[in-house]
Chain A
Amino acid sequence: MDIRISKTYGERVVLDDLALAINEGEILCVLGDSGTGKTTLLNILAGLIDFTGEIEGASDRVGYIFQEPRLLANLTVAENLAYVGADEREIEHMLEKVEISDCRNKRPCALSGGEKQRVAIARAFLSNAPLLLLDEPFVSLDTSLKIRLYRVFARLWEERKPTAVLVTHDIEEAWSLGHRVVVLRDGKIVFDVRTGHTTLPVFGEQSEKKKALLKVLLGGDQDE
């Protein structure tokens, strides 16, 4: 997918002729400070907001894991998954994979934060969309739960290998889950690096590439 887009809100330029090629089947992590247009980029890819420019090879179906789980409070977990069109068999199968089969008939108010996010992950994968968008889905979770969910996500991704764009503030998260990491600043991509990972997630890896990424995040400017 080739992207060349701009987006302004009034006078404020959020994405400034941003050019990005996303390869099929890769997990692309987008790092950047707050307000740099990361979520705007995802919303454009999801078709939720207008933009100027063009997206070649855009997918007409997307799975979106939002920062908050966005579950319907009046429906059970299974009903929430059926809401996006999944059938009974698929739901059972998916609930097993995200390890919340026992929550099938519970309503969101009876679930923990981690369980809710598992439902959101299940919903995104059940959509069978060729493009997955993830907007800091693990941000409010504690470390151990985060790591468990990284594994759940990576396991599900491995089955169909959809193209995924993960937006995050967390360099460790980006490096653990991404095949490629880009840094967004002032509406442009200022750094683009391949992690070289083949199996995911990868924890605690130290490399020159990661150091360079950290340097860029701390204020330097560099292109690979």
Chain B
Amino acid sequence: MKRTVWKHLGAWATALLFLAIVWMIAHAAVGNELLVPDFFVCLKETVRLLGTATLWRGIGSTLLRVFFAFSISFVLALIFAMIAYLLPSFGRFFAPIVGFFRSLPTLAVLLIILVWTSAAIAPVVVAFLSLFPSLYAGFFAAFTGVDKDLIEMSRVYRVPLKKRVFCLYLPSVLPLVARESAAAISFALKLVASAEVLAGTFQSLGGLMQEAKAYLQIPQLFALVSIAFLLGLLLETLGMLAARAIERRVR
């Protein structure tokens, strides 16, 4: 177990080192601080930013939006997927609606949402519009993936609903739901941060990026992007660990 963890950490460290080397080569090749700033300057800027309250406020408010967008999408996707599974006619009616959500050019729609709401709320709505259809599809697939033979056997033996839910449905559905959710949460961060950049949301990670770009503080912009990347990585890793723990527990 420990050996596998070290192997993974080693792989990640090597990949990050490789990216840093590519960055350094690109910096040397381009030779323009405004296009590709020096890696070590950006690293210094990252360390400086991590010591400021502004950055942590920005991270906090972005994560709060991620949490809201993910929670609303998760709950609604779960409810609608369950209804679609139990009532196939509703599933057929709902499929084109989900298809419509899926095909929305989300960041372009942000402009319309900004007319209706504020720059603080719009990123949450944008993230919801992307997360909901993918989570719904994942959850619906998890429900329909429950072994039909076992459902039939449970019907024949008149197993009470509570027992069916805990012994048959949850062990089958939970690992898939957890895996979908783990992938969705880091995707939510990408969506929220991108929407914040476009909306220029005050006191947010995306808002800080937009500010750095406007004042041509390129090392700060690169530092903020790196922080967002590492944050996404952290969320994805935590999500995957939680998903694996759930899978081990129920299977």
B163 at interface (Cβ–Cβ under 8 A)? Answer: yes
Contact present for A84 and B159 (CB under 8 Å) = yes
25-82 of chain A: CB within 8 A of chain B: 46-48, 61-64, 66, 68, 70, 72-75, 79
Secondary structure dominating the interface of A: loop
Which of B150, B155, B159, B167 sits near A48, CB closer than 8 Å? B155
Taken residue by residue from 120 to 152, chain A's Cβ proximity to chain B (1 for < 8 Å, 0 otherwise) reads as 000100010000000000000000000000000
Contact present for B156 and A64 (CB under 8 Å) = yes
Distance in Å from the Cβ of B30 to the closest Cβ of chain A?
55
Contact present for A66 and B159 (CB under 8 Å) = no
Distance between Cα atoms of A79 and B150 in the complex (Å): 14
Q: Which residues of B contact A72 (CB under 8 A)?
A: 150, 167-168, 171
Count A interface residues, CB 8 Å. 20
Contact present for B156 and A83 (CB under 8 Å) = no
B157 at interface (Cβ–Cβ under 8 A)? Answer: yes
Which of A68, A74, A127 sits near B157, CB closer than 8 Å? A127
B3 at interface (Cβ–Cβ under 8 A)? Answer: no
Count B interface residues, CB 8 Å. 16
Contact present for A75 and B167 (CB under 8 Å) = yes
Which of B153, B163, B251 sits near A66, CB closer than 8 Å? B153
Using known A-B contacts A75-B167, A83-B167, determine if residue A70 contacts B159 with beta carbons closer than 8 Å. Answer: no
Which of B152, B154, B156, B158 gathers most chain A CB within 10 Å? B156
Contact present for A66 and B149 (CB under 8 Å) = yes
Q: Which residues of A contact B171 (CB under 8 A)?
A: 72, 74
Which of A48, A62, A84 sits near B152, CB closer than 8 Å? A48
* Nearest A residue (CB) for B251: A74
B250 at interface (Cβ–Cβ under 8 A)? Answer: yes
Distance between Cα atoms of A48 and B151 in the complex (Å): 11
Contact present for B156 and A48 (CB under 8 Å) = yes
For the complex of A and B, the 10 pairs showing the least CB-CB separation, nearest first, are A84-B157, A70-B153, A74-B171, A64-B156, A70-B149, A46-B156, A74-B251, A83-B167, A127-B157, A70-B150
List 11 additional contacts besides A73-B251, A75-B167; criterion CB under 8 Å: A48-B156, A61-B158, A62-B156, A64-B156, A72-B150, A72-B167, A74-B167, A79-B167, A83-B157, A84-B157, A127-B157
22 sampled A-B residue pairs with Cβ under 8 A: A47-B156, A48-B155, A48-B156, A62-B156, A63-B157, A64-B153, A64-B156, A64-B157, A66-B149, A70-B149, A70-B152, A72-B167, A72-B168, A72-B171, A74-B171, A74-B250, A75-B167, A84-B159, A85-B157, A85-B159, A123-B157, A127-B157
